[in-house]
Amino acid sequence: MKLYHFTKLFAVMMLLVVTSCKKYGYNIPDGYPDDSKTVADGGIDTNMKLIDKSMYAKARVFPGLVDQTEPRVQGVKFTMNLKFTDQTTDNLRISVAPQPQFSTGYYAAPGELVKIDVPAGIEGLTVQVGGHTDNLGGKYPLLRDPLVYMRQRLYTGANYVRNLYGGTIYFIANKSYENPVEFTITNACVSPDFILGQTTDAEWVAKVTASKVPWLELRTNRVIFLIPRDKVIKTLTSAEPFNNPTAVMTKWNDVFDLDYNAWMGLSDNALDPVDRSPQGAWRGVLDIQLSLGYGHSGFPFVGLNDDYWFASFTSLKSITTSAGQWGTYHEFGHNCQQGRVWSWSTLVETTNNLFNFKVANRIGADYKILHPSVTTGFPQAIAYASGTVAKNFDFDGAMNDPFKRMTPFVQIFEQFGYGAMTHLYTEARHAPRLNSNDLAMHNWVYEKLSDYTKIDLAPFFDAWGITYSDAVAVKMSSKYPLLTKQIWTYNPLTKSGGTGTIVYNTSVVSTSSPVQEGTVAALVDNNPATYYHSKYSSPTPAESYPHTIVLNAGANIAIKGVYFNARAGSNRAGDGKDIEIFYSRDNLNYTSIGTTTLPNNANRYEYIFPNGNINAKFFKIVVKNGYSTNPYIVFGEMNLIKP
């Protein structure tokens, strides 16, 4: 009986204790009043001495343990600059934009509790422990656990965070703070990071050598790399030691400042916010296993933790020559593609690589060392563009290669300046609408590059088989003079070619009746003494009236009219009388221009188009009937008149 009363008394006392607690289940002031009167089950772990070693075996594999001799800071104050411009993928119209993720310079040991004190008035922060955010769910076999990072909201007051795998500590902000913010951290390790402009090379080498933290960052304003300490230590005794981070990261900062941000038309102080460069740094990390491929884009970009990728981040020789840098520029280039405005569907692995050429051009590197496929792809692509057969850039097997598809863009840059890319990016950010299909993107690039060069580039796009709409062609031909040089023959690898004058000679595509006398080519050889005579020996109905002849102007160019000459010595108009003329840009869809009647004599007759010049490549002449009952026609000339 006494035991029963004791049990009841104990239960009441415990109820009073529990109901007096806050809803979070622990008595730690956090700066927020709690009027909910609710009670949460469980509690918050605040035992700083307890180490959860349940994932030690896996953390040892990746990302690594931290030796107990490595000092853990106690109540250290540090200041963070959380000011940023919120540049999103929608603003910049690129695939991936830098996020407001800030490096603290601290590292959490696996399973150890870290305390972070946030000052009053600071809201909207998230702490992330671990820089390796690639989710390997579904991969087999696994070299590490699928998720080795964690995120947790931060609130005013004391915050406790633990990652069983450990990792670099970051803050992620959802709002910008004008002034620096001071935080306090306990039980974290100092990461031996290099910060351009703040850390000397000798200081950094000493810090890395003394540290037991497995990962460290190389930081600049524009880009941050997360690399393993053990690889740095290994290089210090190699033929090419990584002991010069100032020189390396200065070059990297230039690349992102000049060849990514500036080349896309972004600057820190642009008047229009849309044209301002991201204030957060781009990020790259190395990992022992990737969710996709040998390297992949994203924030952060991820490369395999091997010697190639490590050298691409840290080798001064690599960054100053562009040799061995294809992969890094390639993946960051993916982040910067404008696939919703102008980088159409077959350019997914093409336009991202253009940044390789921009860097190489600025530092004077030889394009031939960028990638082996460049040296073979460019000449093959130029041969394709120089051919006379019908072409389709997107679907022809001869061009089904990203290195070949880079060629026309590099030709434009080399012939008219690398500012052409800046123009494309800037115009894309300010475009009133996105483009939903490839043809719209073809049109957009044709128009914007013509605007940039002040030249109608239709012949260039024709040579490459990049289709475009009639309306855009008419618009460009009315604004700018037509391209006069065969720039599609220019070879960026040898800096030669592309100087030949474009000659637009008319040719005969087809005739409805085979030739009986003379030649088909005689119709357009500018010699009235030669002639074409259609079949007169037992012609079939299809070989009689109406006779159809299709002429090719050589390009989609302005044509004023058509002229006719009867056969020399004849006193009739080639036996033709009533004629209708059509035009087409693709030899598929034809539109009537008008009709005319040839005079019944042998003199030259010109039909000038009634509504002005027609910008087209193909012209179809239909001879409906003749002055005699003969079923054939004979002409000395049937040619186009240019303005």
What is the per-residue pLDDT across 136-179, written as a single tens digit (0 to 9) for each?
999 999 999 999 999 999 999 999 999 999 999 999 999 999 99
DSSP E strands, 466-544: 507-511, 515-518, 532-534
First and final C-alpha spacing in the chain: 117
The model scores a pTM over 0.85 = no
Domains 55-310 and 507-641 share a fold: yes
pLDDT tens-digit profile of 256-303? 999 999 999 999 999 999 999 987 899 999 999 999 999 999 999 999
Q: How far apart are CA 218 and CA 250, in angstroms?
A: 11
8 A C-beta contact, residue 328 and residue 352: no
Distances (CA, A) of 421 to 215, 246, 342, 360, 452: 37, 30, 11, 15, 10
pLDDT tens-digit profile of 115-127? 999 999 999 999 9
Of residues 39 and 577, more confidence is placed in 577
Q: How far apart are CA 378 and CA 384, in angstroms?
A: 10
Q: Which two tokens stand for residue 515?
A: 């030739």
Give residues with Cβ within 8 angstroms of 389, minimum separation 6.
none
Mean pLDDT value across residues 59-63: 97
Neighbour tally for 510: CB within 10 Å: 12
Mean pLDDT value across residues 322-345: 96
Q: Over the chain, what is the mean pLDDT?
A: 91
Secondary structure of 317-359 in HEC code, one letter for each residue: HHHHHCCCCHHHHHHHHHHCCCCCCCCCHHHCCCHHHHHHHHH
Closest-CA residue to 90 (of 428, 331, 333): 428
pLDDT of residue 133: 97
According to DSSP, the residues that pair with 125 across neighbouring strands are 154, 173
pLDDT tens-digit profile of 360-396? 999 999 999 999 999 999 999 999 999 988 899 999 9
Our CA dihedral for 498, 501, 502, 503, rounded to 10 degrees, sits at -150
pLDDT tens-digit profile of 531-569? 999 999 999 999 999 999 999 998 788 899 999 998 887
Would you say residue 70 has pLDDT above 90? yes
Q: Lowest-pLDDT range, 61-75, 96-110, 462-476?
A: 462-476
Give residues with Cβ within 8 angstroms of 607, minimum separation 6.
561, 562, 563, 564, 579, 581, 594, 596
**In whole angstroms, what separates CA 576 from the centre of its chain?**
56
pLDDT tens-digit profile of 518-539? 999 999 999 999 999 999 999 9
What is the enclosing helix (H) or strand (E) of 157? Answer: strand 157-161
Closest-CA residue to 460 (of 557, 373, 375): 557
8 A C-beta contact, residue 165 and residue 63: yes
Domain locations along the chain: 55-310, 337-489, 507-641
Please, which pLDDT band fits residue 2 given cuts at 50, 70 and 90? very low
Q: CATH homologous superfamily of domain 55-310?
A: Peptidase M60, enhancin-like domain 1 (2.60.120.1250)
pLDDT of residue 206: 98
Please, which pLDDT band fits residue 10 given cuts at 50, 70 and 90? very low
What one-character-per-residue DSSP string does 553-584 give?
EEEEEEE-EEEEEEPTT-SSSTT--EEEEEEE
Q: Which two tokens stand for residue 405?
A: 């598809």
Would you say residue 16 has pLDDT above 50? no
Would you say residue 3 has pLDDT above 70? no
Would you say residue 574 has pLDDT above 80? no
Second CATH level (architecture) for the domain 507-641: Sandwich (2.60)
Enter the CATH code of domain 337-489. Answer: 1.10.390.30
Specify the long-range contacts of residues 234-237, CB closer than 8 Å, at least 24 apart: 235/314, 236/205, 236/209
pLDDT tens-digit profile of 483-505? 999 999 999 999 999 999 998 88
Q: Lowest-pLDDT range, 9-23, 215-229, 286-300, 307-321?
A: 9-23
pLDDT of residue 242: 97
Please, which pLDDT band fits residue 34 given cuts at 50, 70 and 90? low
Closest-CA residue to 109 (of 157, 53, 40): 53
**Omega before 228 cis (within 30°)?**
no
8 A C-beta contact, residue 633 and residue 568: no
Q: How far apart are CA 360 and CA 326, in angstroms?
A: 10
Closest-CA residue to 560 (of 606, 602, 525): 606
**Omega before 546 cis (within 30°)?**
yes
Would you say residue 21 has pLDDT above 50? no
Percent pLDDT > 90 in the chain is 83
